[in-house]
Amino acid sequence: MKIKALRTKTEPKEFIILDYNQSLNICFVGTSDIPNIQPETATLEGMVEYFGEKEIDVDWDNIELVEFDLIESGVVGADIRNKLSPPKNLVDMLEVFFAEPFEPRSNLDRMKQNDLIRLIKKEMKQCKKSIKYIADLL
């Protein structure tokens, strides 16, 4: 899920907390290490307009609205672990395939070897997808 938050453009990059309480007619402006989540539909222009009407003195030239991916803790690790199964399977199959020189003694041995080659090729395709997925995460 994507979230948005206000942050300073200059170092140190800190999250901006802008909160207006309508019933008390007060506004809190501050900074934090933790993002103050804004609506998915929020735009910087809309926020400038909204808080401008409240006559709040904010340096909008030093503020940006940034978007982050909100990821549940542990989910990415499990996802990566699942994506590493095809490469592990491929290595296991290659170890079997190259364990000792294979000289087919019968048609059955040739069929087993062909089946193993077919499985290796299939796993290679899945490995490419998994590697692309993991590379795109980072």
pLDDT class of 134 with cuts at 50, 70, 90: confident
Work out the burial of residue 4: count CB atoms within 10 Å of its CB; fewer than 13 is exposed, 13-18 middle, 19 or more buried: buried
Tokens of 133: 């997925």
**pLDDT of 78:** 76
Measure Cα distances from 120 to 3, 124, 126 in Å: 41, 6, 10
Residue pair 6/47 in contact by the 8 Å Cβ criterion: yes
pLDDT class of 30 with cuts at 50, 70, 90: confident
Q: pLDDT tens digit string along 55-95? A: 777 788 988 999 987 777 766 677 788 889 999 999 999 98
**pLDDT of 87:** 93
| Number of domains composing the chain | 2
**Domain termination site, one of 69, 87, 116:** 69
Gap between the Cα atoms of 99 and 124, Å rounded: 19
Task: Judge if 54 and 84 occupy the same domain.
Answer: no
Task: Judge if 6 and 60 occupy the same domain.
Answer: yes
**Domain termination site, one of 45, 69, 93:** 69
Report if pTM > 0.75. Answer: no
**Domain termination site, one of 15, 36, 69:** 69
**What percent of the chain has pLDDT above 90?**
24
